Amino acid sequence: MSRVVQIRCAFSKCGAANSKADGSMKRVLLWISCAVIFLLLIFLSAGWWFLRGSLPLLDGQLAVGIGGPSAAVTIERDVAGAPTITGKNIEDVAYGLGFAHAQDRFFQMDLARRLAAGELAALIGVSAVPTDKKLRVFRFRAVAQRVVSDATPAQRSWIKAYTRGVNRGMAALRSRPWEYGVLRLKPQPWQAEDSILVLHSMWYQLQYQNIISEQARRQIISRIESQVSDASLTASVTQFLFARGNEWDTPNFQTLSQAHSANGAEPFQAPPIPSPAVFNLRNFSVSGVNQAGTVNAPEPESVSKVGSNAWVVSGRYTANGAALIAGDMHLGLRVPTVWYRTRLRLNQSRIDNQEDQSMELNGVTLPGLPFIAAGSNGYIAWSFTNSYGNWVDVNSVSCDATQFSARRERIEVAHAKAIEIEIKESLLGTLIDTGSDASSVASTCWVVRWLAVEPGATNLVALELMQARDVEAALSIAPSVGMPQQNFIVGDRSGHIAWSIIGRIPIGNLGPMTPRPVQWRLSQEVPKIVDPEVGRIWSANARQVEGEFEVVLGNEQAQGGMSYDSGARVRQIRDDLLGLKNPATPMDMLNIQLDDRGLFLTRWQRLLLATLDEDALKNSPQRIEMRRYVSVWGGRADPNSVGYRIVREFRDKTRQASWQMITSALKVAEGSQPNSLFEGSLWRLVTEQPMHWLSRDYLDWRAFILTQVDQLADELNKSCGSLSRCRWGQFNTMQIRHPLSAALGPLGPYLDMPALESSGDHDMPRVVGPTFGASERFAVSPGHEAEGYLQIPGGQSGHPLSPFYRTGFEDWITGRARPLLPSATVYRLTLNSSITRASE
């Protein structure tokens, strides 16, 4: 055999051997692949089973055992998951509501109670430690325990029935809510005090920002006082920076003659510009201005303060003769939504010691609390807007001269070591910040007194309010309701309407600085407007009333604007209401809520066009293009409008740059934001153009304004690629996200609401921003609930596998009316202590 043949044979044997080896290897790899796939399927199946196990029960009967309702409670749901909860009495209905809240929204409830208590880090981890440190100083858990202890027997029975319902709802799930699987933790049982903490979380959302802004205001005023020796001259500067109101203010009055007498023929004007002898910015060297003369200002906030719209039309001007209430409360937009739409049916209710009286309540509830926050009980309907008054006081004191008591608190941290913090308190308030004041060598401590922590400020009197039968009864109860102070807009089925403050107001004019124990005003001592001559009441966080009524709310802070919002939004609402030609209907109210005209920005559009004159446009294609879009802006916050976005951001940029010129000159509060009422003073600056209120880094005001124009054009071209792509909708795209979506990588977007563009903005009735806006929109006449509507930016359930997860979002984004009342029953679950076997 030749050598070639031998070699070939050798290779042939070797190839056979290799082929056999390859076959064995392939079989091994195949088995491994099959095993991996099998394990993956088991893992996915287990995950699917876990997720499905935390879906709520919808049908059948469930034994609830000891501590259940006194009689059967039914939870009926329509095709969108909106529940109708029916029970014998208020405690049984509260039990059913607690059950439904826990099954649909327990994680949301848990976040709310932990936020207020300063216990978020125990659930979320180290990222929540700064928030816990900020909130723990107020000891809200101890406050909540005191609230439950001080409650009446009826109130305690009510809140404890709700608590039992929450825990039974959790126990009825096959597996813990899915969020706890992601966090690798177990949910903790609900306690009665936790519901009070949920209410405290709303105190935080509505009023905590006032602490930050009040501290900045105090710093600025202190610095001005150190620079201007004459007290009267100091006042002129501070009143210019912190104006009492603006030209859009439209407070409510009992009579038309009172309104005319207060306002006169001329609208409210911003204070006059202080003279160069009092304050001259050109004498200061302004930090934060670079060599090109542009201000390195922080990005302006995309939305303004927490607020709301609400109004009521007297039965004299409605189609059905009953009062017509409309409301949209403005809060952060998130998944799941803030509110949970609910219908509660009581077969018996205790009202003025009467029995056997049925009642039906429709509206929105806050998961964690057993009452309708806004809506109708068939006799009255109500809504709120955040009230700005003297609810918080922040003061600087010498750290050396102030006697502080100290205590240590332990903050638990999920999957990490606990940390300890020291909290200091004095008779003057709780320590929130230490530092060195620019006008003093001594160390400065900032302390806060907040009505939220005072005994009696929070309570469970909302139980009585839910069952009021007319406006008079509601007004008698409202001042005793322990909640964040709100403008209370109410009307009844007889057509009567009213405004008052709901929430506790101290006797005296010192607000939180009232000596302890705080004594609270009674109903007859609280301002109110009942059946005003004009037949309408409007509210949108601006100056609601004036004169003696305002003194009750704010005393000396009234002169500084009390953190009111600009009156532009409420002026537009008032004019829309008074412009109705026919008797008002719910659809008229929705049209007002969806009004996206940019009336507030119209004068800024004109200013920008006037600035971009022939001289400004020479050799500047960028300015020419900007002017072209601004001239056809459309005057609405339309998603397709490039011009609206340019005008809006031009105003924001000019506002922030002007404010930073001032704070940089004073070398204090340099990162702060101007309050809403600075708008009137700002307009005087950019139109009257006083040189002594302009930094010497600018030749004149025209140069200052053109600098903002050019900076804005550069920024928009950089962020959008070209100016033509910078539509308002590109900015105003919804970012309504689940708090855990960012942690889930590519799966996260499946938890969020669709990223759709929306019309609307802040200073108009249709308040919509990417993460902030109308958390609901509704209108209803008590006794005519079938004519009402309710829009919510998301679904009932917090579970992504639920068919109710996104229902409602599309109606909210498009503005399509969705009935207030649930539709036909699709699912029915009965909670009954006598049933021994559960079925699903």
Neighbours of 722 (CB within 10 A): 9
- What is the distance between the alpha carbons of residues 341 and 819, in angstroms, rounded to a whole number? 11
Strands (E), 493-651: 497-502, 528-530, 536-539
Angle between helices 602-611 and 678-688 (to 10 degrees): 20
Rg, the chain, Cα only: 30
> What's residue 28's pLDDT?
73
CA distance 677 to 697: 26
Whole-number pLDDT of residue 46: 61
Residues 762, 303: Cα–Cα separation, whole Å: 7
Rounded to an integer, what distance in angstroms lies between the CA atom of residue 693 and that of residue 273?
Answer: 9
Q: State the Cα–Cα distance between residues 190 and 714, nearest whole angstrom.
A: 53
CB 340 within 8 A of CB 367: yes
Q: Are 103 and 56 in contact (CB under 8 A)?
A: yes
Give the residue carrying structure tokens 């309701």. 481
**What DSSP line would sit under 773-787, residue for residue?**
EES-EEEE-TT-GGG
How far is residue 372's CA from residue 343's CA, in Å, rounded to a whole number? 9
The distance in angstroms from the start CA to the end CA of the chain is 82
How many other C-beta atoms lie within 10 A of the C-beta of residue 409?
Answer: 15
Residues 6+ apart with CB under 8 A from 276: 690, 692
Report how far apart, in Å, the C-alpha atoms of 576 and of each of 137, 313, 716, 764 are: 44, 12, 34, 11
Torsion of CA 15, 17, 22, 25, to 10 degrees: -170
- pLDDT, residue 312, reads 98
- Torsion angle (degrees, nearest 10) of CA 656, 662, 664, 669: -80
Q: Give 792-829 as a DSSP string.
A: -SS-S-S-TTSTTSSTTHHHHHHT---BSS--S--EEE
Considering 282-286, 300-304, 433-437, 457-461, the range whose residues carry the highest mean pLDDT is: 457-461
Q: How many CB atoms lie within 10 A of CB 587?
A: 12
Q: How confident is the model at residue 297 (pLDDT cuts 50, 70, 90)?
A: very low
CB environment 59-78: b (16+ within 10 A), e (fewer): eebbebeeebbeebbbbbbb
pLDDT at 455 over 80: yes
**CB of 467 within 8 A of CB of 349?**
yes
- Residue 817: other Cβ atoms inside 10 A: 17
CA pair distance 736, 753, nearest whole angstrom: 6
What digits encode the pLDDT tens for the residues 385-394? 999 999 999 9
pLDDT, residue 289, reads 37
Model confidence pLDDT, tens digit, residues 225-246: 887 777 777 888 999 999 988 8
Asked if 633 and 643 count as a contact pair (C-beta separation under 8 A), the reply is: yes
Identify the bridge partners of residue 252 per DSSP, sorted by sequence position.
none
Q: What percent of the chain has pLDDT over 90?
A: 73
Per-residue pLDDT band for 546 (boundaries 50, 70, 90) equals confident
DSSP state of 768: B
Four-residue CA torsion sign, 224, 228, 231, 236: negative
Query: What is the phi/psi pair of residue 838, to 5°?
Result: -100, 145
Number of H helices and E strands in the chain, helices first, is: 23, 22
Q: Closest Cα partner for 387 from 307, 474, 499?
A: 307
Give 10's pLDDT tier (boundaries 50, 70, 90): very low
Whether the pLDDT of residue 49 is over 70: the answer is: no
Distance of alpha carbon 688 from alpha carbon 654, whole angstroms: 15
d(CA 479, CA 507): 12
Q: Is the pLDDT of residue 595 over 50?
A: yes
Average pLDDT over residues 399-409: 87
Q: Which tokens in the block code for residue 269?
A: 């004007």
Pick the range with the lowest mean pLDDT from 16-20, 126-130, 510-514, 729-733. Answer: 16-20
The size of the chain, in residues, is: 840
Could you give the CA distance from residue 223 to residue 90 in angstroms, rounded to a whole number?
Answer: 55
Q: Where do runs of H (alpha helix) occur along 492-600?
A: 548-554, 568-578, 586-593
Q: Which tops the pLDDT comparison, 13 or 394?
A: 394
pLDDT score for 351: 47
Task: Please check whether residue 443 is in contact with residue 454, taking contact to mean a CB–CB distance below 8 angstroms.
Answer: no
- Average of per-residue pLDDT values in the chain: 89
Instruction: Output the CA angle 454-459-464, nearest 5 degrees.
Output: 150
| Residue 445 phi, psi (nearest 5) | -110, 135
47 CA to centre of own chain: 34
DSSP letter at 631 equals H
Mention every residue, 6+ apart, whose C-beta is less than 8 A from residue 699: none
- The pLDDT, as a whole number, for residue 285 is 47
Query: What pLDDT, on the 0 to 100 scale, is given for residue 268?
Result: 74
Q: Strands, E, within 515-640: which ranges?
A: 528-530, 536-539
Coil/strand/helix, residue 682: helix
How many Cα atoms are found within 13 Å in the side-chain-facing hemisphere of 303?
20
DSSP codes, 179-205: HHHHHT--PPPP-HHHHHHHHHHHHHH
Say which residue, 311 or 697, is predicted with more confidence: 311
Give the least confident one: 242-251, 331-340, 629-638, 824-833.
Answer: 242-251
- The per-residue pLDDT for 352 is 47
Separation in Å, CA 388 to CA 306, 403, 585, 600, 757: 10, 31, 30, 21, 31
Token pair, residue 172, equals 């009825």
306, 205 Cβ separation under 8 angstroms: yes
Predicted local confidence at residue 45, as pLDDT: 59
Does residue 336 have a cis bond before it (omega within 30 degrees)?
A: yes
List, in sequence order, every residue forming a beta bridge with 789; answer none if it has no partner.
779, 819
So what's the pLDDT on residue 422?
94
Q: Tell me the residue type at 335.
A: V
Mean pLDDT of 358-385: 97
Other CB atoms within a 10 A radius of the CB of residue 384 amount to 23
The whole-number average pLDDT for the span 787-793 is 98
Does 707 have pLDDT greater than 50? yes
